[in-house]
């Protein structure tokens, strides 16, 4: 079974990623980062979630700010707590006695060649870990992240939130030479929970009802802010290559992060050109591919697969990994 470590900022859809990974994969750890809320709140949310799900997955607290600037946490989409909409239990376990950066290094060292690192928040912890331990890139089986977009952004016209929070960190991650999988908004916005799905969750057990409450809040914010009619399950999409790979199509290409301070800061520039020559004067040569970029998805099938994992959580029945 694939070993996975989720680096996250829970966060409504981060919570779904944790449940989905715990259901189908060997979730060896959770590390937290600022993002959807302050790191104090995202860490508490991760601990509450582990308690709600009855897991004993270790949780390590990470960075509270990006590499190069200070960031205000507005809780724009995820509310004051970072996971508004559900009564979450008080955490039963404490954080581990290591910073997320060291925890990531330690878990990768213990599981050399096996661990998939799954960043679904700003990439500050991951970048610092790659810098601190140069062997880390070689120890990881893959990095599979939620972030970026091939078309429009959500935080600026072209930048997606996780990358926009810390473009310098994302740049370090994309240059690290680890086999990379990126799922961005172009795909994750097609994986949306509807009002009818929420009704289904509300009619099921306590865990499903908690997720129904979370989605209710999230869908109302996405309606108000982004004029969307479903709650996007961004973060669990990053796990799909290791659970139901047939549901998301990827294309390998070069990806670079725009680091300028202007309009395109935080953009994931994906080079999908079909160039045949490198030697033309006025055409920028194509860099070597460094990432598999998600370009297509069977959105409804994936939503159903994720909902089944939530609804069946209580009775412990294992939903199929095939669809």
Which residues are known catalytic residues? 234
Q: How many other C-beta atoms can be found within 10 angstroms of the C-beta atom of residue 295?
A: 17
Cα-Cα-Cα-Cα dihedral sign, residues 214, 5, 92, 37: negative
Please report how close the Cβ of residue 147 comes to ligand BDR at its closest, in angstroms.
7
The residue within the footprint of ligand BDR, chosen from 4, 7, 14, 176 (CB under 6 A), is 14
What ranges in 84-166 are assigned the alpha helix state H? 100-110, 124-132, 136-139, 161-165
The pair of three-digit structure tokens given for residue 53, joined into one six-digit string: 């799900």
Contact between 84 and Ca ion per CB under 5 A: no
Contact between 52 and ligand BDR per CB under 6 A: no
Q: How many other C-beta atoms can be found within 10 angstroms of the C-beta atom of residue 205?
A: 14
Find the radius of gyration of the CA atoms of the chain: 19
Contact between 146 and ligand BDR per CB under 6 A: yes
The residue within the footprint of ligand BDR, chosen from 3, 11, 33, 45 (CB under 6 A), is 11
Backbone angles phi, psi at 119, to 5 degrees: -80, 125
Considering beta carbons, is residue 13 or 102 the nearer one to ligand BDR?
Answer: 13
Considering beta carbons, is residue 14 or 171 the nearer one to ligand BDR?
Answer: 14
Contact between 120 and Ca ion per CB under 5 A: yes
The pair of three-digit structure tokens given for residue 166, joined into one six-digit string: 């810390």
Q: Which one of Ca ion, ligand BDR, none is in contact with 160 (Cβ closer than 5 to 8 A by kind)? A: ligand BDR
The residue within the footprint of ligand BDR, chosen from 2, 4, 13, 309 (CB under 6 A), is 13
Measured distance CA(21)–CA(31) in Å, rounded = 14
Total residues at the site for ligand BDR (CB under 6 A)? 14
CB 253 within 8 A of CB 268: no
**Binding footprint of Ca ion on the chain (CB under 5 A):** 9, 11, 14, 120-121, 235
**Binding footprint of ligand BDR on the chain (CB under 6 A):** 11, 13-14, 36, 77, 120-121, 146, 154, 160-162, 234-235
């Amino acid at each position: 079974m694939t070993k996975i470590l989720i680096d996250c900022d829970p966060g409504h859809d981060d919570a779904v990623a944790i449940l989905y990974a715990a259901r189908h994969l060997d979730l060896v750890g959770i590390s937290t980062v600022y993002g959807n809320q302050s790191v104090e709140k995202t860490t508490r949310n991760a601990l509450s979630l582990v308690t709600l799900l009855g897991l004993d997955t270790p949780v390590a607290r990470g960075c509270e700010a990006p590499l190069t600037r200070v960031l205000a946490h507005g809780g724009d989409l995820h509310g004051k707590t970072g996971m508004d909409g559900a009564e979450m239990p008080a955490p039963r376990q404490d954080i581990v006695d290591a910073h997320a950066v060291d925890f990531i290094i330690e878990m990768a060292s213990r599981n050399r060649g096996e661990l998939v690192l799954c960043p679904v928040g700003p990439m500050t912890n991951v970048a610092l870990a790659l810098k601190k331990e140069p062997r880390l890139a070689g120890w990881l089986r893959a990095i599979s992240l939620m972030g970026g977009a091939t078309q429009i952004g959500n935080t600026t016209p072209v930048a997606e939130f996780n990358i926009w929070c810390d473009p310098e960190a994302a740049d370090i991650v994309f240059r690290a030479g680890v086999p990379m999988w990126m799922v961005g908004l172009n795909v994750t916005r097609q994986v949306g929970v509807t009002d009818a799905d929420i009704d289904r969750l509300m009619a099921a057990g306590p865990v499903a009802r908690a997720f129904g409450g979370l989605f209710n809040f999230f869908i109302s914010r996405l309606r108000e802010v982004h004029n969307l009619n479903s709650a996007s399950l961004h973060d669990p999409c990053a796990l799909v290559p290791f659970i139901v790979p047939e549901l998301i199509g990827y294309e390998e290409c070069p990806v670079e992060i725009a680091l300028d301070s202007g309009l395109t800061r935080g953009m994931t520039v994906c080079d999908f050109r079909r160039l045949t020559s490198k030697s033309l004067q006025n055409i920028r040569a194509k860099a070597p591919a460094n990432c598999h970029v998600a370009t297509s998805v069977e959105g409804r099938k994936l939503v159903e697969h994720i909902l089944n994992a939530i609804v069946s959580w209580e009775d412990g029945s294992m939903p199929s990994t095939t669809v």
